[in-house]
Structure 1
Amino acid sequence: MALSYKVRRTLSLLVLVVGLPLYIGLAIWVVSLFDRPPIWLEFIVYVVLGVLWMLPLKAVFKGVGQADPDGEPIRYEDDGLK
């Protein structure tokens, strides 16, 4: 079942405002469980974890930045300037 535009928009906002900070805290906590790795390895771990959170949520974020496909088209008023 496909999610509607409004549900996807609401979920994406919720994920970015609540879920992403929690995920960042979790990533920092996981890295802190190990002894301090070399800086290049720590960087790679953070990059991988930074990309990994998006993969299961791709369907939620898809098309959210565009106009509502089910909504009314946006009509601009002509201001008479030419």
Structure 2
Amino acid sequence: MALRYKTRRRLSLLILVVGLPLYIVAAVTLADWLSARYGRLPILAEVAVYVGLGFLWALPFRFVFRGVGKADPDERPD
């Protein structure tokens, strides 16, 4: 099922405003848990964890964000 352009725009805004902050809190909590459980990771490994988690959140939402910044293809030209 393909989403309309306006639906994708609204959904992408909801993901960015609500979902992304929640994901950031979850990612930092996970990193802190890893530090508490196994000790502090080396700085490059910690950066790799944060970069990996930074890319990981967007993978399921690629179809929502694709083409949202462009003009509405469903709109009729005047």
TM-score, normalisation: structure 1: 0.86
Q: Equivalent residues in 2 for 1:3-82 (5 A)? A: 3-34=3-34, 35-73=39-77
**Counterpart residue number, 1:80:** none
**More helix per residue:** 2
Please report the RMSD computed on the Cα atoms of aligned residues, expressed in angstroms: 1.0
Query: Is 1:2 matched with 2:6?
Result: no
- CA offset at residue 36 of structure 1? 1.5
Q: Partner amino acid for 1:3?
A: L
What 5-or-longer segments of structure 1 have no aligned partner? 76-82
5+ residue gaps in structure 2? none
Relative to the length of structure 2, the TM-score reads 0.90
The higher radius of gyration belongs to: 1
Please list every run of at least 4 consecutive aligned residues from structure 1 whose deviation after the TM superposition is greater than 6 angstroms: none
